[in-house]
Chains A and B, each alone.
Chain A
């Protein structure tokens, strides 16, 4: 005991006043994190808004104010409108496929069976591995000549070598490809979220429902689903936000092509703002994503609060 007391013997210093008071130390402890985030998220965000209403390019760095002219101009561009629609198709399509596979996978993995740990480790891979690297593997699988998917279909006699699809060269197929790769990347996350939710439902609630005569579907959709809804919504919003604003899959697989068939807002903002140096229009394209994100965050906040009651 004496040794412990000695170890923590008070060291008096002029800072003692601060170090002893939660009301002083609390804010000092949070300050670095908040300042860092404010300086490198808050300030750039304001800067983005500022660029979007100015005529700033990297060649002509004049800040003169042009109001909403950039926004009117991008909305008149066909490429932008295609990108806007594509972004919604891309997001909604991949989230739906991801959720369906996720629910299906969670139902399977709920049950203990030999090798479940290994199965889970393998299933989590698409979500764990850096998406850019996995996308390159998919690009190779979609290769116009050596596609393993085409090889298999030809070997099975489903298609002929002469009319084998050019996955990334055909506008409709290219869209399908980016959606599939994104859904593939997202579904392990959905499985894990569903599992986390379902295992958190107390067994006695389910037992009580069973005793009261609820069958499999009723238990699933009237008891379990409402109870896990908050956690699933939070997960879904994560997936949606990151899909809606993503550019890595589209950039690497198709770079928006062929002829803008898979162009999405993130990639378009990158092409205009970084590659062409037209910062103000690029910022305007990015900021169009903001209202959607805003709505999603509001929904998310409601559910996070509900969890805490």
Chain B
């Protein structure tokens, strides 16, 4: 084959490979999107080509979600749970990360790995005893049980993320503050925290998305519709009897998925650095 042809063939194969991956990854979301805006008569007509709109798009499914179901309530519940878990996580993980990065030496490193490993303890191992604990605390069938339990995986993950970050903050900054008469605690609050805003923002975003993604604990602890979070509500409450209302289901899933998808993409690199333990050293 002459040179330009060979190059063109190689380029073609390359872009075909990329296109293949994109289709595999994104098709279910395209499917969600198009289903959410299709009329029922279009959806359930096998003679239609399903890949685009055969009838004009409709907002009926989305309107149904907000008018006939507790969808708005689920959004609000998710927001409340997310905000509370973020607050708990910040209050515990920030000092812990700082302490393990700076103040506890070799033991701190081992302890840090230990905390991170608890992130690997799966919900399916703990949901039985935790549901008993929650009953004892009187939190059964309430979204506050999730506020209590979700920090068990957000604290380990965020502490680990923050250890890496705090190690990268130059020691001289705190030392200067201490020379100027600050206590170590004062240096942490007045100098280190303001410098760590990017890391804190990352922790906030990831904690929030982790709470939105969680399904197992929510499924185990909550059964009444009004207490459900968005992920649980959409997946378990929009199925009436044995009948699936795909338009409403996909519309709900789409609305819940969009913010998480955006947040993840913006903070992906930091997340990877955290998860591989390659956090800035």
Stretch at the interface among B16-24, B57-65, B67-75, B196-204: B16-24
Q: How far is the CA of A187 from the CA of B215 in the complex (A)?
A: 20
A260 part of interface (Cβ distance < 8 Å): no
Asked if A29 and B99 make an inter-chain contact with CB atoms under 8 angstroms apart, the answer reads yes
List chain A residues, Cβ under 8 A from B152.
36-37, 40-41
List chain A residues, Cβ under 8 A from B124.
245-247, 265-266, 269-270, 286, 289
Q: How far is the CA of A293 from the CA of B159 in the complex (A)?
A: 22
Interface string of A1-42 (1 = CB under 8 A from B): 000110111110000101111110111111011101100110
In the complex, how many angstroms separate the beta carbon of A2 from the nearest chain B beta carbon? Answer: 11
Chain A: how many interface residues by the 8 Å CB criterion? 110
Chain B: how many interface residues by the 8 Å CB criterion? 98
Asked if A8 and B181 make an inter-chain contact with CB atoms under 8 angstroms apart, the answer reads yes
B92 part of interface (Cβ distance < 8 Å): yes
Interface string of B251-280 (1 = CB under 8 A from A): 001001100110111001000110111100
Interface string of B150-185 (1 = CB under 8 A from A): 011001100100000000000000000100111111
A188 part of interface (Cβ distance < 8 Å): yes
Interface residues of A, dominant DSSP = helix
In the complex, how many angstroms separate the beta carbon of B219 from the nearest chain A beta carbon? Answer: 7
Asked if A30 and B111 make an inter-chain contact with CB atoms under 8 angstroms apart, the answer reads yes
A121 part of interface (Cβ distance < 8 Å): yes
Q: How far is the CA of A184 from the CA of B28 in the complex (A)?
A: 10
Q: How far is the CA of A8 from the CA of B179 in the complex (A)?
A: 10
Asked if A124 and B91 make an inter-chain contact with CB atoms under 8 angstroms apart, the answer reads no
List chain A residues, Cβ under 8 A from B232.
132
Q: How far is the CA of A45 from the CA of B123 in the complex (A)?
A: 11
Asked if A129 and B276 make an inter-chain contact with CB atoms under 8 angstroms apart, the answer reads no
Q: How far is the CA of A114 from the CA of B277 in the complex (A)?
A: 31
Which chain A residue shows the least CB distance to B109?
A308
Q: A36-B92, A125-B26, A148-B31 are in contact. Are A234 and B117 (CB under 8 A)?
A: no
Q: A40-B149, A304-B113 are in contact. Are A242 and B122 (CB under 8 A)?
A: yes
In the complex, how many angstroms separate the beta carbon of B260 from the nearest chain A beta carbon? Answer: 6
Stretch at the interface among A64-72, A100-108, A170-178: A100-108
Interface residues of B, dominant DSSP = helix
List chain B residues, Cβ under 8 A from A301.
113, 117
In the complex, how many angstroms separate the beta carbon of B53 from the nearest chain A beta carbon? Answer: 14
B54 part of interface (Cβ distance < 8 Å): no
Asked if B231 and A48 make an inter-chain contact with CB atoms under 8 angstroms apart, the answer reads no
Q: A293-B122, A304-B277 are in contact. Are A130 and B256 (CB under 8 A)?
A: yes
List the 9 shortest-distance A-B pairs measured between CB atoms, nearest first.
A26-B103, A128-B264, A245-B122, A29-B99, A33-B96, A47-B129, A29-B95, A19-B183, A44-B129
Instruction: Name 23 interchain pairs, CB-CB below 8 A, sorted by A.
Output: A5-B181, A8-B190, A40-B130, A45-B126, A104-B17, A125-B261, A128-B264, A129-B29, A130-B212, A134-B257, A136-B235, A137-B29, A140-B31, A140-B246, A146-B43, A241-B122, A265-B124, A266-B122, A269-B128, A274-B220, A286-B125, A289-B124, A297-B120
B residues touching A (Cβ–Cβ < 8 Å)? 14-15, 17-18, 21-22, 24-26, 28-29, 31-32, 35, 43-44, 46, 49-51, 88, 91-93, 95-96, 98-100, 102-104, 108, 111, 113, 115, 117-118, 120-133, 148-149, 151-152, 155-156, 159, 177, 180-186, 190, 209, 212-213, 215-216, 219-220, 231-232, 234-235, 244, 246, 249-250, 253, 256-257, 260-261, 263-265, 268, 272-273, 275-278
Given contacts A40-B151, A127-B264, A130-B213, 7 further A-B pairs with CB under 8 A are: A26-B104, A48-B125, A104-B17, A122-B22, A124-B268, A133-B256, A301-B113
